[in-house]
Structure 1
Amino acid sequence: MLNKKLIGLSSILFVMIVWGSSYPVTKMIINDIQPLTLAFCRCSIGAITLLLIFLINTDKPIKEYLVGVPWFSIIFMGLTGVTCFYTLFNLSAQLTSASVGSLIQGFIPVCIALFAAVFLKEKLSVVQIVGITASLVGVMLIGFLSSDNNSDTRNSITGNLLMIIAVISWGAYTIMSKKTAAHFNPLLITSLSTCVGSLCLLPAAIFENRHSGWPVIHLNSLLAILYLGAVSSGVCYLLYSKSLQLLTAAQVGNFANLDPVVGLIISLVFLNEHINILQIAGAVLVLGGIVLSTRKSRLAG
Structure 2
Amino acid sequence: MIKLRKYFPHLAGLVFSSIFGFSFLFTKEGLELMSPFHLLGFRFAIAFITLSILRIAGIININLRGKNLKKLFLLALFQPGIYFICETTGMLYTTSSEAGMMIALIPVAVTILAAVFLNERPTLIQSLFVALSVGGVFFIIFNRGTAPIDGNYLGLVLLGGAVIAAGFYNIISRQLSLEFKPVEITYVMMGFGALFFNLIAIFRKDFALGSYLNLLTNTDVLIAVVYLGVFSSVVAFFMMNYTLSKITAAESAVFANLTTVVSIIAGVVFRNEPFFKFQVVGAVLIIIGVWGTNYFGRPVVEKGEEIYEKV
TM-score (norm 1): 0.84
Deviation at 1:79, TM superposition (A): 1.4
Secondary structure of 1:22's match? helix
Q: Over residues 8-51 of structure 1, what are the superposed CA-to-partner deviations in whole Å (9 max), with x where a residue is unaligned?
A: 66545432221111111111221101111101110111111122
2:113–2:168 Cα contact (<8 Å) kept: yes
* Distance in 1 separating the partners of 2:59 and 2:67: 16
Match of 1:161 in 2: 157
Q: Give distance in 1, aligned partners of 2:180 and 2:149.
A: 46
Provide structure 1 residue ranges, at least 5 long, that are not aligned to the other structure. none
Query: Structure 2 CA distance, aligned partners of 1:11 and 1:115?
Result: 29
Identical counterparts, % of pairs: 28
Distance of 2:109 and 2:52 partners within structure 1:
29
Structure 2 counterpart of 1:223: 223
Equivalent position of 1:36 in the other structure? 37
Instruction: Measure, in 2, the Cα distance between the counterparts of 1:76 and 1:17.
Output: 29
Matches of residues 62-141 of structure 1 in structure 2 within 5 Å? 65-141=63-139
Provide the residue aligned with 2:288 in structure 1. Answer: 288
Asked if structure 2 preserves the Cα contact closer than 8 Å seen for 1:181 and 1:244, the reply is no
Question: What is aligned with 1:14?
Answer: 15
Match of 1:49 in 2: 50
State which drifts further: 125-134 or 183-192: 183-192
Report the CA distance shift for 1:55/1:120 in structure 2 as closer, same or farther (over 3 A): farther
TM-score, normalized by length of structure 2? 0.82
Q: What is residue 144 of structure 2 aligned with on the other side?
A: 147
Q: Secondary structure at the match of 2:206?
A: coil
Structure 1 contact 20–262 (Cα < 8 Å) conserved = yes
Alpha carbons of 1:88 and 1:189: their partners in 2 closer, same or farther (altered >3 Å)?
same
Structure 2 CA distance for partners of 1:20 and 1:290, relative to 1, 3 Å? same
Q: Secondary structure at the match of 1:57?
A: coil
Q: Which has the higher helix share?
A: 1
**What is the root-mean-square deviation in Å for CA atoms of aligned residues?**
3.3
Check the 8 A contact 1:106/1:257 in 2, yes or no. yes
Q: How many residues align?
A: 295
* 2:273 matches 1:273: yes
How big is the shift at 1:102? 1.2
In structure 2, relative to structure 1, the CA distance for the partners of 1:244 and 1:177 (3 Å cut) is farther
Mapped partners of 1:116, 1:163: distance in 2? 20
CA–CA separation in structure 1 for the residues paired with 2:86 and 2:220: 23
**Change over 3 Å in CA distance of 1:51–1:119 after alignment to 2:** farther
- Is 1:199 the counterpart of 2:198? The answer is no
